Structure 1
Amino acid sequence: MSLWAVLLAVLALGALGFWLGRRRALGFVAQAGSEVGAVHSRPHQHGVFVAILSLLPALAVIAAWAALAGGLVSREVLASLPEGAVGPSDLERSAFLAEVRGLVRGDYAAAFNAHAEAAAAVWKASATRYAMLFGSAALALGALGALWGWSRLTADFRARTRVERFVMLALVLASLVAILTTFGIVASLLFESFRFFQLVSPVEFLFGTQWSPQTAMRADQVGSSGAFGAVPLFWGTVFIGAIIAMLVAIPLGLMTAIYLTQYAAPGVRKVAKPVLEVLAGVPTVVYGFFAALTVAPAVRDFALSIGISNASSESALAAGLVMGVMIIPFVSSMADDALTAVPRSMRDGSLAMGATPSETIRKVLIPAALPGIVGGVLLAVSRAIGETMIVVMAAGLAARLTANPFDSVTTVTAQIVALLTGDQEFDSAKTLSAFALGLVLFLVTLALNVYALAVVKKYREAYD
């Protein structure tokens, strides 16, 4: 009895409960005739009530099966082994159980461990027994729930109220998933960052200007303590994502939105707007290839042509230009929607007072649409700050505190990738520094969102 077979049987049982509940409610309707209020709820609501009582306990058992069966079977397999058959470490036990699972699935033709064949037989028997136990319990509870729900149905039974309460509970739980996930992310960042700050001073991390997290294997080696001054990373993030990229995206995005909403013919807008928004769907690695193979060499050649001899093949300007192009749709789409939402009467009133179209745009439409425009800009800034692939491929990984756009720099996200790539030990300052960087990045984006809400609230009160 497999998990999927039991799940299909439970769903079929729920469908049967719905049909039986609805059929019984139709009998109540037939008995009541045309009498108003004789039946409290509709027939399908009675059916949904019975189906819920059938599905909930059965699905709870199936969830417990999926969560616990593997551990229970593994425990029985390890208990059946003779003394000393498997090493005492968790790694040795995990490797042995992985071999046993491979034998059960048929991935291995022969066993490497002498006890694996016998353990595989124990695994199969134990898995079959637990499958029968959990499967029978799920079907029995589903049938009992359906029978109990069906027995409660009467003409005046408030099935609608109970179904609506269940739907409300489901909506609350769905909302809690996102909230609890956010709390989990923040808690993990705080916990690992606290461990990092036990090894490295927060003052050094937040205000230090030297970033070299490559710690040595032995304490007597040069640079064994590392350097964790993250100011070059913060500056690189701001320089590429919030300065260069925004200098490209804000003017182009805003002017594009103004043209499409105020000047473009309907046919042009119908074609140009979807084509522009295609840019938002291009994978960032494609932008990275374009930046590394096309834009970066062009930027370096331009720098050499104007006499800058130390221009790097990987530069902040190349990454920022491509990143700005990537986030143009975020700015233009939000600005487009904001300008379109401005009441037509405001535009017509300005034109009727003698203002030119350009004056109307500058003095009426843009101030009225400013909350949406600011929201789009801040969304684009958050997107740029969190970008990784373009920086890795076009800007490099050198942590430099420089204002020269032709130099190679790096960002917080690029360093997080570099720190967590490959086999890492999560008890060293080098690896834990990635969590501290992530915490700072999270706080920065949170501050941007709070500021965006404040701006929107201020101008919404002025133009409502």
Structure 2
Amino acid sequence: MSTDDLTNDLTKNTANAPQELLTRAFFLLCAAVSIFTTIAIIVLLVSEAAKFFSFTAPFTGVEGPTASVVEFLTGTEWIINNEQFGVLALVTSTLMITFGSALIAIPLGVGTAIYLSEYADPQLQSVLKPALEILAGIPTVVYGFFALIYITPALRIPFPSIGTFNLLSASIVVGIMIIPMVASISEDAMSAVPDDLRQAGYGMGATKFEVSTGIVVPAALSGILSSFILALSRAIGETMAVTIAAGTQAKFHNPFNPAAYLDGGSPMTATMVNLLTGDITGGGLAYRSLFAIGLTLFVITFAMNVLSELIARRYREEY
């Protein structure tokens, strides 16, 4: 490169310096807003939840009744009128719906991803994948009414004693909702596996099924496992669908009893909706319990996202 070219490049970079500085400042602002929003949400949850628990009252200067953190975390009764705030009555319903939805979404989602990645031709794939992702664009309240109007009546055929609001119907509809997330992320992970690995398997005499399940899936395991955790985090945080399908009557269920799925319950998100739409006093104990539930839900989902990242790092393959 000649001296004139170097001079021209230097002059051009100097002229663009204000524009580059402005662009950098804009992107820094976007990152700062995201971080600030996250911190503000955490501070809000912690500060308001602290007013709910009795052991923090001397430090926060809160006047009026407060709840015990031990009773909140270990109690099995959630009755607002009696000031019984046992979050286990809500957590068990949430976890049962999450587990039930996982039994539906994980095998169907992975099977769909294997078909799209390994079996479907490009033309068919270009139609099926967008059609599958349409499920993610349907409002969740529509899923709730679908469960109430169609799934629950269908479940009464094998289970005549099932209630109008039940955990099984909620599990099925949430499982349908998170299938696109499992399928899409898993398919992207499988498509990223180099074709050299597939060709090596075919060269060894492996069948299409053996290559798909024995080579491609293990190679894409980190992405597949991450899709499971992220999808389950979405299931835990789902609100309207479970509110309509499962109901809002808080009950403690034995998570190891399959018959409990035939009964209704109130997951954490449904309880929060019920409290917000009910007749509660702003600043009262019931109102403060909203933030205690929200903080509990935040801790669970945050832990699952951290677990997803750890799994992705543990099983990530570099190609």
- Same topology, TM > 0.5: yes
1:405 partner SS: helix
Which residue number corresponds to residue 288 of structure 1?
144
Q: What is aligned with 2:101?
A: 245
Shift of 1:272: 1.4
Q: Which residue of 2 aligns with 1:213?
A: 80
> Retained in 2: the 8 A contact 1:300–1:406?
no
Distance in 1 (alpha carbons) for counterparts of 2:108 and 2:11:
57
User: Within 2, Cα distance between the matches of 1:231 and 1:184?
Assistant: 27
SS of the equivalent of 1:427 reads: coil
Q: Distance in 2 between matches of 1:248 and 1:452?
A: 20
Report the Cα offset of residue 385 of structure 1. Answer: 0.8
Pairs within 5 Å for 1:380-459: 380-402=231-253, 403=257, 404-421=260-277, 424-459=280-315
2:89 counterpart of 1:232: yes
Is 1:202 the counterpart of 2:72 in the alignment? no
Secondary structure of 2:283's aligned partner = coil
**CA-CA distance at 1:380 after TM superposition:** 0.9
Could you tell me which residue of structure 2 aligns to residue 62 of structure 1? none
Check the 8 A contact 1:260/1:273 in 2, yes or no.
Answer: yes
- Return the match for 1:254 from 106, 110, 113: 110
Unaligned runs of at least 5 residues, structure 2? 55-65
Which of 39, 45, 61 is the equivalent residue of 1:189?
A: 45
Contact 2:268 2:293 in 1 (8 A): yes
Match of 2:124 in 1: 268
Task: Please name the residue that 2:201 is paired with.
Answer: 350
Asked if the contact 2:243–2:269 (Cα under 8 Å) also holds between the matched residues in 1, the reply is no
Cross-structure match for 2:175: 324
Q: 1: CA distance between counterparts of 2:5 and 2:198?
A: 57
Please state whether the residue corresponding to 1:169 is helix, strand or coil: helix
CA drift of 1:356 comes to 2.1
Q: How do residues 6-405 of structure 1 correspond to structure 2 at under 5 angstroms?
A: 37=7, 41-42=11-12, 158-198=14-54, 199-214=66-81, 223=82, 226-240=83-97, 242-304=98-160, 309=161, 311-402=162-253, 403=257, 404-405=260-261
**Structure-2 separation of matches of 1:38 and 1:289:** 66
What secondary structure does 1:258 align onto? helix
Name the CA distance, whole Å, in 1 between partners of 2:42 and 2:70. Answer: 21
Larger deviation: 165-174 or 366-375? Answer: 165-174
The alpha-carbon deviation at position 232 of structure 1 amounts to 1.4
CA distance in 1 between counterparts of 2:10 and 2:312 reads 46
1:425 Cα deviation after fit: 2.6
**Is residue 300–residue 313 contact of structure 1 (8 Å, CA) maintained in 2?**
no
Partner letter of residue 295 of structure 1? I
- Secondary structure at the counterpart of residue 237 of structure 1: helix
Kept in 1: contact 2:116–2:125 (CA 8 A) = yes
**Shift in Å at residue 410 of structure 1?**
1.4
Deviates more, 1:397-406 or 1:318-327: 397-406
Task: In structure 1, give the amino acid aligned to 2:169.
Answer: A
Structure 2 residue identity aligned to 1:315: N
Higher CA-based Rg: 1
Secondary structure at 1:434 match in 2: helix
8 Å CA contact retained: 2:75, 2:85:
yes
> Structure 1 stretch 378-387 or stretch 355-364: which is displaced more?
355-364
Q: Distance in 1 between matches of 2:8 and 2:176?
A: 65
Deviation at 1:173, TM superposition (A): 1.5
Distance 1:257 1:39, change over 3 A: closer
Identity of aligned residues (%): 41
Distance 1:178 1:38, change over 3 A: closer
RMSD: 1.9
Give the match's secondary structure for 2:262: coil
Q: Which letter does structure 1 place at the counterpart of 2:153?
A: P
Instruction: Quote the Cα distance in structure 2 between the aligned partners of 1:164 and 1:359.
Output: 52
Does the Cα contact within 8 Å between 1:209 and 1:231 map onto a contact in 2? yes
Structure 1: state its 5+ residue gaps: 1-33, 46-157, 215-222
SS of the aligned residue for 1:302 comes to coil
Counterpart position of 1:74: none
Separation (CA, whole Å) in 1 of partners of 2:202 and 2:313: 28
Which residue identity is paired with 2:91? F
TM-score (norm 1): 0.62
For residues 61-93 of structure 1, what are the alpha-carbon distances to aligned partners after superposition, in whole Å with 9 as ceiling and x for unaligned? xxxxxxxxxxxxxxxxxxxxxxxxxxxxxxxxx
Cα separation, partners in 2 of 1:204 and 1:419, compared to 1, 3 Å: same
CA contact (8 A) 1:368 1:463 kept: no
Assess if the C-alpha contact under 8 Å between 2:280 and 2:286 holds in 1: no
1:5-55 Cα shifts (integer Å, max 9, x gaps): xxxxxxxxxxxxxxxxxxxxxxxxxxxxx897379544xx9xxxxxxxxxx
Q: How far apart in 1 are the matches of 2:164 and 2:21?
A: 62
